[in-house]
Amino acid sequence: MLGYILRRTLYAIPILVGINLLTFALFFLVNTPDDMARLQLGVKRVTPEAIAKWKAERGYDRPLLWNAPAAGTKKFTDTIFFDKSVKLFALDFGRAEDNRDIFNEIRTRMGPSLALAVPVFLVGLMVNITFALGMAFFRATYLDLWGVVLCVAMMSISSLFYIIGGQYLISKLWHLVPISGYEGGVDAAKFLVLPVLIGVIGAFGSSTRFYRTLFLEEMGKDYVRTARAKGLAESVVMFRHVLKNALIPILTGVVVVIPTLFLGSLITESFFGIPGLGSYTIDAIQAQDFAVVRSMVFIGSVLYIVGLLLTDISYTLVDPRVRLA
Amino acid sequence: MPVVLATDFLVWLLVLAVASFAWYSRRRAHLAAPWARVFRSRTAVASAVVLACYILVGLLDSLHYRPALPARDAGAPVAYSVEARSLLDLGLAPLRERFEKTYSAPLATRLFQREQVELPDGRTARDFPRLRHGGAHLEAEADWGKDVVLRALAGLAAAFALWSVVLICARRALVRRWPNVPWGAAAAALGAILALAGPAAMLADGFHVLGTNQVGQDVLYQALKSIRTSLVIGTVTTLVLLPLGIMAGIAAGYFRGWVDDVIQYLYTTLNSIPGVLLIAAFVLMLQVFLDNHGDWFPTTAQRADMRLLGLCAILGLTSWTGLARLLRGEALKLSELEYIQAAHAFGVSHARILARHILPNVAHIVIITLVLDFSGLVLAEAVLSYVGVGVDPSTTSFGTMINAARLEMAREPMVWWSLAAAFVFMFALVLAANLFADAVRDGFDPRVRV
């Protein structure tokens, strides 16, 4: 089992390198730093001096991959590729356009992101599983039918409308919670109630419907028929056998998103003014702050790969066939 | 003078492809039978009717031309406007041209904001001024209620008449030919659409049915124009997604070995980057590129169109991995089967095996994925436009509509009609697509067949 996990970990390295190369190509080869400078400086008739200054301030004035005139290892290290891409591995992200250290920014913004994402994840998981199990229990009745109809209808509404509708109804009409903003400590709760609620509702339709099919699939298996045949009550069959076994694919399926919870939610955070990583990313995209976007792409991918690793590990925990392989 | 925008060309290419695929599958039982199953479901037929209406609007909006400018003197050669219009614009000319000053509520006769107006006796006062077009035909504003009701009733009557004619014609042409299709559902869906469209059309003649937006543009017109953007994103993306997904997936599953390793590595890498971030990075670069090559596009419409096309390409590039993974699994399974082993033994070439044995046997997966992806893409457009990496701000889309309306949330009383219009039009489209996709999956998935 240890060997298996080690193998999977080693497999992650070339993927990280690939992501690094891809982002480098995307940000520096598709458009040259001169193009970026022109876009950032904004004016059509921008002087070459201004471009040179912009590039020098951000360290984009070096050669891309190979610095021929430099001496020794500097040939490789004094390049854009080394400075902007290789250093990502050491979590050295450089500075944003407002000259703040990106790594520091990310560290302070992780808290609010987690404060929103973790409750959404946990509450959502519980609500979805409960409703899915209920629908599977009442399968082929009107309750089940209308449940599915509700899920499909909820899937068809853009997440933007949930946020706008929720803000309008609960904050503006009923004045229950503030419309947006954030404070540290216990006060955060009153700002987080609405975003969490909306996050849960927004993901309800598709997840619940998916879990329902998982439950139904599980209920069609032979051991369930055996359990019924030996005279177990339907509720015992559901809770003791079906729920336990169907939880395996559900839980191993969600393991992959756990690390990415750090990234927060792009849309919700920016709508509610929560100073997390999601709103940081959105602001960077809108301000065309390439350094921040590049760093977030890298961090996001690292977290996703960690999620894949955790998924593999969770498989070994629940499935002996993988453990023994 | 006709103009062919890049997306227009691709849209019509898709129409051609779908039509020829339909013709091809008509005589092949393995493709025709699942479709027959799909169209035996009532929800599928009803949602197909709704989708067909959307597609009709989208296609009308995909035939562009540049209107001739009025000639200055008789002998001069005809000059053409730089603005590209579509056939839909031509049909909706009254809606397109009737601009108000700023916001006005649905069916309103007065502006949403107070302004200095001159009273008949020469003094000025702050009041809500009358609209230039909305309700301008009314002699007295007291007639408003009567006029609206009369118009709505006339619209309903016209809709009912049209509905009856269509039903009578359809009975002869369609029902006898395909008796198994639940035509009642189709008729009901068509009736519902006409019952909404008829009064709306009648009222649109004298009012702004869904109000006007900040610059005084008719919201109904905007909503109708957004349909094309949604459909383009939902369908043209597949032109990029399909070849990549099919080739990569089948090659990985069929050839195995290093080909499989390389392709798996590629899609794991692409998949590892969070979707929105990858799309955002791509779009930012596209934006830089378009900004620096502005001289390539003579008109803003062409530039906006190129951005839309670029967005489709990017969405395709970032979402082929799902299809590739499914096809890889299926191709792995298929290449083990006896008849493929037999084909190998007979010395049939790889290309022939792939084309004759593998591809037809994974067609159902491709169709299911395409239909399932559509609604996701339509929803993604709204979110991406909100993030600022969606379509060009000058392109009308549901995303840009929501984005503009969102800024007016704080206003008291709230400007709700833009949001409501975007919500209703988008909800109907996505819901119909979801329901249709479910029916297609049930029809094509061999596991469901009992």
Write out pLDDT tens, residues B322-344.
Answer: 899 999 999 998 888 899 889 98
Q: Is residue A97 part of a domain?
A: no
Using an 8 Å CB-CB cutoff, list chain A residues near B269. 15, 18-19, 22
Q: Is residue A294 part of a domain?
A: yes
Q: Is residue A56 part of a domain?
A: yes
How large is the average pLDDT for residues A83-104?
A: 79
Give the CA count within 13 Å in the CB-facing half-sphere of A67. 18
Answer whether residue B217 shows pLDDT above 90: no
Give the CATH number, domain containing residue A128. Answer: 1.10.3720
Residue range(s) defining the domain that contains residue A131: 114-324
Q: Do A31 and B288 touch (CB under 8 A)?
A: yes
Q: Mind listing the domains of chain B with CATH numbers? A: 102-204 (no CATH), 219-440 (1.10.3720.10)
Q: Tens of pLDDT along B84-121?
A: 788 888 878 777 777 777 787 787 777 777 777 777 77
Q: In Å, what is the CA distance from B120 to each residue of B123, B124, B136? A: 7, 9, 18
Q: Do A285 and B278 touch (CB under 8 A)?
A: no
pLDDT at B450: 40
Candidate from B265, B379, B387 with C-beta closest to A266: B387
Q: What is the interface pTM, i.e. ipTM, of the complex?
A: 0.86
Q: Do B285 and A153 touch (CB under 8 A)?
A: no
CA distance B84 to chain A (A): 26
Q: Are residues A157 and A260 in the same domain?
A: yes
The larger pLDDT score, comparing residue A320 to residue B49, is at: B49
Answer whether residue A76 shows pLDDT above 50: yes
Q: Is residue A155 part of a domain?
A: yes
Candidate from A31, A286, A300 with C-beta closest to B277: A300
Using an 8 Å CB-CB cutoff, list chain A residues near B292. 31, 35, 38-39
Q: Are residues A197 and A309 in the same domain?
A: yes
> Which of A47-56, B309-318, B367-376, B382-391 has the lowest average pLDDT?
A47-56
Q: Is residue A109 part of a domain?
A: no
Q: Are residues A172 and A72 in the same domain?
A: no
pLDDT at A323: 63
Answer whether residue B240 shows pLDDT above 70: yes
pLDDT at B356: 87
Q: Are residues A153 and A272 in the same domain?
A: yes
Q: Are residues A78 and A124 in the same domain?
A: no
Taking CA–CA distances from A304, the nearest residue in chain B reads: B272
How large is the average pLDDT for residues B173-177?
A: 79
Q: Are residues A49 and A123 in the same domain?
A: no
Q: Does A38 touch chain B (CB under 8 A)?
A: yes
CA distance B155 to chain A (A): 29
pLDDT at B372: 87
| CA A274 – CA A282 distance, rounded (Å) | 12
Q: Please give the model's pTM, rounded to 2 decimal places.
A: 0.89
Using an 8 Å CB-CB cutoff, list chain A residues near B285. 26-27, 30-31
Taking CA–CA distances from B294, the nearest residue in chain A reads: A44
Q: Does A25 touch chain B (CB under 8 A)?
A: no
Q: Does A169 touch chain B (CB under 8 A)?
A: no
Q: Are residues A73 and A164 in the same domain?
A: no
Residue B263: pLDDT band by 50, 70, 90 thresholds? very high
* Helices vs strands, H then E, count in chain A: 16, 0
Q: Are residues A127 and A25 in the same domain?
A: no
Residue B75: pLDDT band by 50, 70, 90 thresholds? low
Show which of A75, A90, A105 is a domain's final residue.
A90
CA distance from start to end of chain B: 55
State what percent of residues in chain A have pLDDT above 70: 96
- In this structure, what is the dihedral angle of CA atoms B322, B323, B329, B333, given to the nearest 10 degrees? 170
Burial of residue B194, with CB atoms counted within 10 A of its CB: 0-12 exposed, 13-18 middle, 19 or more buried = buried
CA distance A237 to chain B (A): 24
Query: Mean pLDDT across chain A, nearest whole number?
Result: 84
Q: Is residue A100 part of a domain?
A: no
Q: Is residue A105 part of a domain?
A: no
Residue A322: pLDDT band by 50, 70, 90 thresholds? low
- Secondary structure (DSSP) of B412-432: SS---HHHHHHHHHHHHHHHH
Q: Are residues A190 and A289 in the same domain?
A: yes
Q: Are residues A46 and A84 in the same domain?
A: yes
How large is the average pLDDT for residues A231-236?
A: 89
Residue B74: pLDDT band by 50, 70, 90 thresholds? low
Q: Are residues A35 and A123 in the same domain?
A: no
Answer whether residue A325 shows pLDDT above 60: no
pLDDT at B301: 76
pLDDT at B63: 85
The total number of structural domains in chain A stands at 2
Candidate from B287, B291, B386 with C-beta closest to A267: B386
Q: Is residue A232 part of a domain?
A: yes
Residue B208: pLDDT band by 50, 70, 90 thresholds? confident
Residue B140: pLDDT band by 50, 70, 90 thresholds? confident
Q: Do B383 and A158 touch (CB under 8 A)?
A: yes
Cβ partners under 8 Å of residue B36, min gap 6: B180
Q: Are residues A53 and A144 in the same domain?
A: no
